[in-house]
Chain A
């Protein structure tokens, strides 16, 4: 069965970078699908952030402008989120997902000094 697991720091200081890892088991990230990052803000609004495709191409939400980067390590079957210049507005639960139907359990990231 496909499983995704997010990991990374739970606390990030303003102006620094947020970096998260999504570890995937049960399916190769090079075999198919778009591998997404989605976040859920306090108050429960959901925002699609972007994806890295099975072929390595990217698509990002324009609202994140040039702050976001999604990369991967195919040897470890992992993909990564990096969000630069974070503010308190980036406090959210971050999810990785394969397409729309397999999600990780989410990881809460708080941006605070």
Chain B
């Protein structure tokens, strides 16, 4: 199965700061999803097929990547962006998730 490694595991950012979360795959994948999860709620699809924002996701979010390296970027951090973000590969089964990046607001 494809192993996804996210970095960093935990980070904090100040309002207005640029944030980048990376996801490295053990084998090449065609597309990557990103999920946002806040405490006590289920994960929400946030970015699909590498770079497409899900409905309602602010335009300050973006996704990019190819092959074994993918990233989620927030152009300017806002308080509401504090959450845990997970990448998920959809190239092969079993579907696998990264270990998550907990993003906190400073």
| Bound-complex Cα distance A106 to B43 (A) | 10
Q: Is the CB of B97 within 8 A of A106?
A: no
- B95 contacts partner chain A, Cβ-Cβ < 8 Å: yes
Q: Is the CB of B42 within 8 A of A100?
A: no
Which one of B19-27, B60-68, B69-77, B85-93 contacts A? B85-93
| Bound-complex Cα distance A106 to B99 (A) | 19
* B27 CB, nearest partner CB in chain A, Å: 16
Q: Is the CB of B94 within 8 A of A100?
A: no
Q: Is the CB of A48 within 8 A of B95?
A: yes
- What number of B residues sit within 8 Å (CB to CB) of A? 20
Cβ contacts under 8 Å, B97 to chain A = 45-48
* A65 CB, nearest partner CB in chain B, Å: 12
Q: Is the CB of A62 within 8 A of B42?
A: no
Q: Is the CB of B100 within 8 A of A100?
A: no
| Bound-complex Cα distance A45 to B5 (A) | 12
Segment 93-110 of A: residues with Cβ below 8 Å from B: 95, 100-101, 103-106
- A61 contacts partner chain B, Cβ-Cβ < 8 Å: yes
B55: nearest chain-A partner, CB-CB: A101
- What number of A residues sit within 8 Å (CB to CB) of B? 16
- B54 contacts partner chain A, Cβ-Cβ < 8 Å: yes
Q: Is the CB of A44 within 8 A of B54?
A: no
Q: Is the CB of B88 within 8 A of A100?
A: yes
Q: Is the CB of A103 within 8 A of B94?
A: no
Q: Which residue in A63, A95, A101, A103 is a CB contact (below 8 Å) of B48?
A: A101
Q: Is the CB of A103 within 8 A of B33?
A: no
Q: Is the CB of B45 within 8 A of A106?
A: no
- A59 contacts partner chain B, Cβ-Cβ < 8 Å: yes
- B interface with A by C-beta (< 8 Å): 1, 33, 41-45, 48, 54, 84, 86, 88, 90, 93-97, 99-100
Q: A59-B93, A62-B94 are in contact. List 5 more A-B contacts (CB 8 A).
A: A100-B45, A100-B48, A101-B45, A103-B44, A104-B42
Q: Can you list 7 A-B contacts (CB < 8 A)?
A: A48-B94, A59-B93, A62-B94, A100-B48, A101-B48, A101-B54, A103-B42
